Chain A
C-alpha cells in the first residue's frame, strides 16, 4: 500500500496555497516518503544461478512452485486430505527418516528420498550411487528396515534404485 504523503495532498494544498499565496507569501515544499510493506525475495528451495560449475539435479534445479507441474511430491500420505488428522506427526516422522537415512547411507544418496505410506506400511524409496559394493548396501538396507520398523511400530520397506553417479540436470 503505497501511501504518498506528497502527491495529492500537495496538489490540494497547492490549490489552497495558490489561493492563499495570492494573499500570503509561498509555503515551503516537503519531500514525500514512499514506503511499502517488507517484500523479501523468495529463497525457498532455490539454487541461484552462479558461475556454471555447480552440478544440480532435476529435483534441486526446480523451485517449489513447479511442484505438481514439473515435480512430484517427496512425501505421500493422506493426512492432508479433508478431515484427516496427523499431518504434523507424519511430517516429523518424515524429517527423522530423512536424517536417519542420510546418516546411515552416508555419501550414497543421489537424490531426495521419497516416502510413501500405504496402509500401515512405510515405503522409503531411495536412489543411491554405486560407491559401495552391493553386499554392504544390503547390510545397511536390512539394518534400516528393522530399526525403523521397531522405532515406528509399523512395517518399513525400502525400495532402492542405484545409479552410477548423481544424475546432473544442469550446471548452475
Chain B
C-alpha cells in the first residue's frame, strides 16, 4: 500500500535509478546509516540542523529507493489487481474486463449504501471521515425559501433550482445577488440540464487528467435559455453574472452571443475577470474566418486584459495556444513568442497546470503535409523550452509518442518517456487504450532503431506489467529479431504471443513466424523447439480451419517439419494439401524427395511422384526421373512411375 504511493511520489527519480541499480548493494547501507543518523540527530536536537529541504528530500529518496527497493516491478501486473495467477489479466481485453468489473462492484456497493443509508450512519472514525458516509442526494429543505435554493444548488439539481427560483420570485422574495450569481453559475456550467447521475455515467474511473467533457459536446446553447431569462430578470447585474453567462455560452457553443455580451459589458463599463477573458479567447477562432483575423482578435483580447490590469494565468496561455491551433500555419512562429511571454511573466514555474504548446506543435506537424523534418528540430526546441521552464507538458502522451515515431527520433522519444515520470504527467497517459497506443509507438520506435539487446530489455520491462502488445507490435519485434539474427528466441516470443491471445486471430502472426522459421537453416535444438511449436499449435487448428488455408503457411509448415526430422507429420501435411485443393510448390516436393532419399523410402518417393502428377505439376517428369535415378525401385514401382510419366507427357501434349 505505502509502496504504491511512494512510487508515485518518487517517479521523478525512477529513470535515473534504474541506471544506477547495479551499484545499489554496497551503497544502500551507507545511505541507510546516514538517514538514521539524520533522524536521530533531528530528534535529539529538536531543531532542524540541516535546514535544507533539498537535503532531507534527498535522504528520504535514497532511503526509499535503495533500502526499500521501491521500483516498478516489471513482472507484476497493475496494482489494482490481486496478486494471483488466476486473477492476473493476460491480455488487454482481460485487463479492461477485470478493471471494469471491479469498478462496477464498487458502484453496486455505492448504490446500496446510498439506497439504505441508515445502516451506514454509525460513526466509528475518530476524526470524522466525510467521504465514507452515505451521500444524501435528496434535498432536506422542502419549503420555498432561500436556504432551499442554496441546498438545491449545492446538490446540483439544475431544474429544481430554477423552479425554486421562479417560485421565490413569484412569492415576491428578493433573492440576493450572490445567490442569483450562484444559480447562474450552476445553469451555465451544466448547460441548463441536469447533470448525468452517477450510475448512468461511464464506469471507468481510471485516472484521466485531461478528459473531454463528453456530455457537454452534445448540448448546445438553446435560444430560450433559462440562464438568459434569469439574467434579463435580474434587477442588477455585476461582473460575475456577465462572466458566468459568457463562460456558459462559450462552453456550449454560442460564441458570437458571448462576444455580444462582452460588448454589452464594455458599454456598461464593467471589467471582465480573467475567466471570462479565457472563455473569450477560446471562442475567438470561431467568430472569425481568416487566420490573420483570428489571431488579431486574440491579440486584441490580450491587449484589453493588459489595459484592464487583469493578470493572465497559465490557463490563459493554455487557451491562447489552443486557439492558435485553429489559426493555421502562422501559429508556429507565434508559439515561441507566447512561450517567451510566459517565461517573462514567470508563469510556468509555479503553476499546477501546464501549457499545451507541445500539443500545438504536434498537431501542427501532424496536420501539415510539408516539412516534417522542420518540425523535428522545432519540437525539440519546444521541448527544450519546456524543460527550461520546468513546465510539465500535459499533452496526450500517446500523441507525443506517435509524433516521435513518425519523426523517427529516438532521443526525443526517450526524453518524452522520462518526462512521464515528472510530477503529475502519469495522468496524461489517459485510459488504457491510449496507454497501449503510447507504449506501442514507443516500442515500435525502439524495435526499429535499437539493437536487439536494448529491444529485449524494453520488452522485458514493459510487457506485461505496463503494456499488452497487439499483433503489430509483435510483428515489429519479430522483424527486429530477424534483423539481428536472434531467431532462436522465437519459441519464447511465441509463448508470449499465445498467452496474449494473438495466436489465433486472423493467423497473420502465425504465418509470419512460420515464414521466419522456414526460411533459414537453424541448429538442431532450435529446430526441435520450432517443431514443438508448430505441432502444438498449428496442425490442429489448421485442420479445423478449412477455408482459410494459406498456401505459404502450409509449405512453410511442411518445410519446418522436414527440417526437424519429423517426416510422418510432414506427410500428414502433404495429405492436407490434397484435402484442401492446394498445390504444393516444387521446392517443397524436392525437399520431400530429399527426405525420402535420406530415409531410403522408395514407396514414399513413388507416392510423391503420383501426387505431383495428380496435381498436374510440370515438374512431374523431372521428379519421376530423379526417383528413377536415385532410388532402387521394385518392378511395380517402376511400372507406376512409367504410367505417371506417360500421363504427364500426354498432359503436356
Contacts and interface: CB of A to CB of B under 8 A. Distances in A.
Interface of A: 121, 130, 134-147, 149-154, 157-162
B2 to A, nearest CB: 10
Contacts of A141: 82, 102, 105
B86 interface: yes
B103 interface: yes
B587 interface: no
B68 interface: no
Contacts of B82: 138, 141, 158-161
A162 B87 contact: yes
A134 B98 contact: yes
B109 A147 contact: yes
Nearest to B120: A150
B134 A150 contact: yes
Nearest to B104: A139
Interface in B121-142: 123-125, 129, 132-134
A137 B84 CA distance: 12
B113 interface: yes
A141 B86 CA distance: 14
B102 to A, nearest CB: 4
A60 to B, nearest CB: 23
A142 B98 CA distance: 10
- State the main secondary structure of chain B at its contact with A: helix
Interface of B: 1, 81-84, 86-87, 94, 97-99, 101-106, 108-110, 112-113, 119-120, 123-125, 129, 132-134
Main secondary structure of the interface of A (DSSP, over half): helix
A140 B124 CA distance: 24
A151 B117 CA distance: 10
A44 B495 CA distance: 51
Which are the 9 A-B pairs with shortest beta-carbon distances? A142-B105, A146-B109, A143-B105, A142-B102, A153-B125, A139-B105, A135-B101, A147-B109, A162-B86
Given A144-B105, A150-B120, A152-B124, 5 more contacts: A138-B82, A142-B103, A142-B105, A146-B113, A160-B82
Given A150-B113, A150-B132, A160-B87, A121 B1 contact: yes
A135 B98 contact: yes
Contacts of B110: 146
A142 B84 contact: no
Contacts of A144: 105, 109
Contacts of B125: 153-154
B108 A143 contact: yes
A149 B125 CA distance: 11
B105 A160 contact: no
